[in-house]
């Protein structure tokens, strides 16, 4: 499936390891939530349609991603009323 305004693919490296970029994932989640919604498939490289056959994902990873997203949303809500010094 081709990426569009309702669908995005993210490499597994976006959420695990030294190259994890949760800010990038959070940005896309916020963009989808501000629009019509959408789907983000984590574990698929941009040029691929399926994850690598040998790729394994721990059972805890989806829960960790959701928890991190919720934590990011809470931090953003807290900062809306913050004053800059």
- pLDDT > 70: percent of the chain: 80
Q: Is residue 1 part of a domain?
A: no
Domain of residue 51: give its range.
Answer: 7-80
Q: How many domains does the chain have?
A: 1
- Euclidean distance between CA atoms 15 and 11, whole angstroms: 8
pLDDT band at 85 (very low <50, low <70, confident <90, very high): very low
Q: Is residue 32 part of a domain?
A: yes
Angle at 59 between CA 7 and CA 72, to 5 degrees: 55
Q: What is the tens place of the pLDDT at every residue in 42-51?
A: 888 888 999 9
Q: Is residue 73 part of a domain?
A: yes
Q: Is residue 85 part of a domain?
A: no
- Euclidean distance between CA atoms 42 and 85, whole angstroms: 38
The predicted pLDDT at position 79 comes to 47
Q: What is the tens place of the pLDDT at every residue in 7-63?
A: 999 888 888 888 888 788 888 888 888 888 888 888 888 889 999 999 888 888 878
Q: Is residue 2 part of a domain?
A: no
């Amino acid at each position: 499936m081709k990426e569009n305004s309702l669908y995005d693919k993210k490499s597994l490296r976006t959420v695990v390891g030294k190259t994890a970029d949760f800010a990038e994932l959070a940005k896309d989640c916020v963009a989808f939530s501000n629009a019509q919604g959408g789907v983000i498939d984590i574990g698929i490289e941009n040029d691929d349609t399926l994850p690598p056959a040998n790729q394994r994902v721990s059972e805890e990873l989806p829960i960790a991603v959701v928890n991190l997203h919720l934590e990011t949303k809470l931090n953003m809500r807290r900062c809306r009323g913050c004053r800059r010094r």
